[in-house]
Amino acid sequence: MNIEQVLAMDEYQIFDRKSIQFAPTSLSDLICAFANADGGTVAIGISDKTKRIEGVDSYLSKVNELLRVPIDYCNPTVPVETEMVPCINADGKADHVLLIKVEASPLLHANQADEVFVRVGDKTKKLSFQDRLTLMYAKGLRYFEDEPVYGATLEDIDLPFVTEYIHKIGYAKTAEEYLKQNKNFIIAGDKISAAAILLFGKNPQRFFPRARIRFIRFDGVEAKVGKDMNVIKDVIFEGRILDQVQKAVDYIKIQMKERTYLGKDAVFVTEEEYGEFVRTEIVVNAATHRDYAIMGTDIQIKMFDDRLEVDSPGSFAGMVKKENIRYTHFSRNPKIAAFLKDYGFVKEYGEGVDRMCRELNALGLPDPTFDNNTFILKTIIRSAAYEKLPVGEKEVADSTQKLPIGEEKVADSAQKLPIGEKKVADSIQKLPIGEEEVANSDQKLPIQIYKKICQNTGYNEKAIRNLWRVYELIEVNQIFSASYIMKEMKCSERTSRNIISRLREMEVIVPVKGKGKGKYRFKYKSEM
């Protein structure tokens, strides 16, 4: 790496810049954070705010002190590699910048004060006691990608492909030297790691038969079996991880629906069922974070008329949970993640889920859902709506499948609707469209009235979706509060209070006395 490359890099998950005046104790926090996450590099001798090149040649004693940090200030010691990069400092003199390279560690590293940090985006985050415990559990075993593969030799590695890769990343030595000298691709002289086989192998499925991606296309909105089986496409993608990802992403594109119409200024517009980033991210996320130690199944991408489902072997990695997955990053396979980033499939570590949510929300679609079922992590993405109905006309979840509150599915599998067309389904009685009035005055505000109120509020689509989730969540005569909404919808306190405030503004709820402060119920038809 030269000085131009160092200056061109932005601070992110695996890179940071620090002044030569950076305190050793603070450097230990950063080094431990890199080791506890995906590894990384810190460039010493450049101001992290202005990118002013200070250099380190005039600060020999300070450099020596910083070089002792991984040993003297980190517990256990963090193995690092160092490099001096030639440069011209801000005074116009020849100088050097010190690079300290940290590998992702299978151990938990703390500073001298026994504080644990982890790298999250471009920040160094101190962990709470609970998060520290979670990280300790997650790091109880080595990374599977580092394990030696029984029977594998250098003959099983596609060296010409390795040569293409190292040219791409600017590595000047040979392919064999790269494997032996970097990231433990070759262990103890001749043992080939799982990462080396999965990323560079001639035939990875020889050693990992189910390390592959399977695409299944269903006709309809549910999977049927036996004489009603509705599978119309079933394709398996094998080879190296890069090959699998590229083929799967391309295949989703040709299988999904598109709608072309004449838009503004007489220009034809093509809308895709799944945006390019979203369909790429769900495949990359599965391939990057699957548990390759689970060898009895493969990654399965299931396309239905209204959604994509991705089943990936494994569970949430590290301290990632359903509740924090949007903003929390932890790589189960950091070498695979770094490799796919070099090929442009991973843009920024930890950004993928957040960006998916933002792109889906911009189309008026719900966030992806994530859930663990035994040893499978399921991700569900809703398809884009080309022919949108009025806000609130959403299908209630198919009674054959239990989904989290607010997840909309087509309720009547016998009736095929256009993509994204969502209607309100009465789980008790099928009424003609528009006649969803609640017959009994003892029930909560009729759905038609509530729908009209939502449409006339001027709130954005995300706010209206939250209001609809509350309407579906709260039962007849049920007393609820902001804290109840926060717990059941797994949202923030601020969001739950905003929901209550909007319901009051809409005049669809009334306060309940004698049950404590901040308690409400929905209005009845007779109260409107």
> Is 61 a residue whose pLDDT tops 70?
yes
Q: Which helix (H) or strand (E) holds 380?
A: strand 376-382
pLDDT at 507 over 60: yes
Q: What's the pLDDT score for residue 350?
A: 63
pLDDT at 97: 94
Residue 457 has pLDDT above 70, yes or no: no
SS3 state at 245: helix
CA distances from 324 to 40, 247, 313 (A): 23, 30, 20
What mean pLDDT, rounded, does the chain reach? 81
- Segment 177-198 shows an average pLDDT of 92
On whether the CB atoms of residues 56 and 97 are closer than 8 A, the answer is yes
pLDDT of residue 302: 95
pLDDT tens, position by position, 194-244: 999 999 999 999 999 999 999 999 998 889 888 889 999 999 999 999 999
**What is the band of 422 on the pLDDT scale with cuts at 50, 70, 90?**
very low
Please give the model's pTM, rounded to 2 decimal places.
0.55
Tokens representing 77? Answer: 């010691």
Distance (Å, rounded) from C-alpha 252 to C-alpha 301? 9
- Split at pLDDT 50, 70, 90, the class of 28 is very high
Reported as a pLDDT band with limits 50, 70 and 90, residue 144 is confident
Specify the pLDDT at position 261.
64
> Which string of DSSP letters, residue by residue, matches 142-176?
--GGGSBPTT--GGGB-HHHHHHHHHHHT--S-HH
Does the pLDDT of residue 473 top 90, yes or no?
no
Q: Is the peptide bond before 432 cis (omega within 30 degrees of 0)?
A: no
* CA 67 from centre of chain: 35
* Whether residue 368 has pLDDT greater than 60: yes
Per-residue tokens: 262: 């004449």
Instruction: Tell me the C-alpha distance between 165 and 146, whole Å.
Output: 19
pLDDT at 429: 32
More reliable by pLDDT, 456 or 37: 37
Q: Is 366 helix (H, G, I), strand (E, B) or coil?
A: coil
Under DSSP, the state recorded for 526 is G
For residues 129-153, give the mean pLDDT.
76
Range with the largest mean pLDDT of 123-127, 424-428, 475-479, 515-519: 123-127
How high is the pLDDT of residue 413? 33
Question: In the chain, pLDDT over 70 holds for what percent of residues?
Answer: 81
Q: Are 127 and 111 in contact (CB under 8 A)?
A: no
The amino acid at 159: L
Residue bearing tokens 């032996």? 180
For the four alpha carbons of 15, 16, 20 and 21, in that order, the dihedral sign comes to negative
Residue 431 main-chain phi, psi, to 5 deg: -110, 155
* pLDDT value, residue 419: 35
Provide the residue type at 526 as one letter.
S
Considering only CA atoms, which of 244, 341, 223, 355 is closest in space to residue 292? Answer: 244
* pLDDT for res 318: 66
Per-residue model confidence (pLDDT) at position 347? 65
* Across 466-492, average pLDDT: 82
Confidence of residue 452 (pLDDT cuts 50, 70, 90): low
Across the range 450-466, mean pLDDT stands at 72
**Judging by beta carbons within 10 Å of its beta carbon (0-12, 13-18, 19+), is residue 383 exposed, middle or buried?**
buried
Q: 88-102, 178-192, 318-332: which range is least confident on average?
A: 318-332
pLDDT of residue 299: 96
Mean pLDDT of 114-142: 77
For residue 400, the model assigns a pLDDT of 32
CB burial of 41-74 (b: ≥16 within 10 Å; e: otherwise) equals bbbbbbeeeeeebbbbbebeebbeebbebbeebb
Q: Could you tell me if 253 and 338 are in contact, meaning their C-beta atoms sit under 8 angstroms apart?
A: no
Query: Residue 293 has what pLDDT?
Result: 82
* DSSP structure string for 257-314: -EEEEE-GGG-EEEEESS-HHHHHHHHHHHHHHS-TT--S--EEEEE-SSEEEEEEES
Q: Nearest to residue 358, comparing CAs of 511, 461, 223? A: 461
- The CA–CA distances, whole Å, from 170 to 165, 186, 235, 392, 457 equal 9, 20, 36, 53, 56
Q: Give the list of residues 6+ apart from residue 468 with CB closer than 8 angstroms, or none.
A: 392, 394, 406, 454
| pLDDT score at 348 | 58
Least Cα distance to 119 among 35, 48, 7, 27 occurs for 35
